């Protein structure tokens, strides 16, 4: 009888020690899940409060330059312009007037703007954080296409923010 009590005591002690040793691993996994969930919630919240509107799109016949504005109509501050997506679909003034689509890359300066690039000419109402698109501010953008636009052709600009919010605008080339 004394031996069975000693054996059962050893089993209980081993079980308690094993449970205490595995507790930090369980806590670590729980912390990782909690951190990941918080990051996901923060990203979803950012997307929910982000809203833009492309406006004032201008395209002149036989020119490679288009101009448009991006209004921040949401509550999120936007600043990571390198990660913005600018996609332009247009009818080119070349043989057969093909419809072309170009993915434009951000350029830090509008001086000598290369083709397939877009840049910020100015930010309207840029009072709070200079160079950053705060709510109720407007980016005035110049973009340079590879080919000149065709008279009467449709130019469509799709602009997406770094967190995936998209706005589209179209205009007929004058």
Number of domains in the chain: 2
CATH number, domain of 85, equals: 2.60.40
| pLDDT at site 148 | 95
Q: What is the spatial order of strands in the sheet that 65-72 belongs to? A: 52-59, 65-72, 138-144, 117-124, 99-106, 85-91, 154-160, 166-172
| pLDDT at site 4 | 76
Are 74 and 25 members of one domain? no
| pLDDT at site 25 | 67
pLDDT band with cut points at 50, 70 and 90 for residue 159: very high
Are 62 and 4 members of one domain? no
Output 48-53 pairs: Cβ under 8 A, ≥24 positions apart. 49/74, 49/75, 49/76, 50/74, 50/75, 50/76, 50/78, 50/161, 50/163, 50/165, 51/165, 52/78, 52/159, 52/161, 52/165, 52/167, 53/167
Residue at token pair 């007929």: 172
For the stretch 35-89, pLDDT in tens is: 877 787 777 777 778 999 999 999 999 999 999 999 999 999 999 999 999 999 9
What pTM does this model have? 0.77
pLDDT band with cut points at 50, 70 and 90 for residue 105: very high
């Amino acid at each position: 009888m004394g031996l069975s009590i000693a054996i059962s005591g050893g089993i209980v002690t081993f079980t308690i020690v094993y449970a205490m040793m595995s507790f930090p691993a369980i806590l670590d996994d729980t912390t990782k899940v909690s951190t990941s969930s918080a990051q996901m919630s923060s990203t979803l919240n950012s997307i929910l409060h982000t809203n833009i509107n492309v406006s004032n799109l201008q395209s002149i016949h036989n020119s490679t330059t288009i101009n448009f504005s991006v209004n921040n109509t949401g509550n999120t501050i936007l600043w990571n312009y390198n990660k913005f997506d600018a996609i332009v679909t247009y009818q080119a003034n070349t043989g057969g007037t093909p419809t072309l689509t170009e993915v434009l890359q951000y350029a830090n300066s509008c001086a000598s703007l290369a083709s397939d690039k877009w840049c910020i000419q100015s930010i309207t109402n840029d009072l709070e954080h200079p160079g950053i698109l705060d709510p109720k501010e407007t980016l005035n953008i110049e973009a340079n296409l590879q080919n000149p636009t065709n008279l009467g052709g449709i130019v469509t600009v799709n602009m997406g923010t770094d967190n995936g919010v998209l706005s589209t605008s179209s205009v007929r080339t004058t």
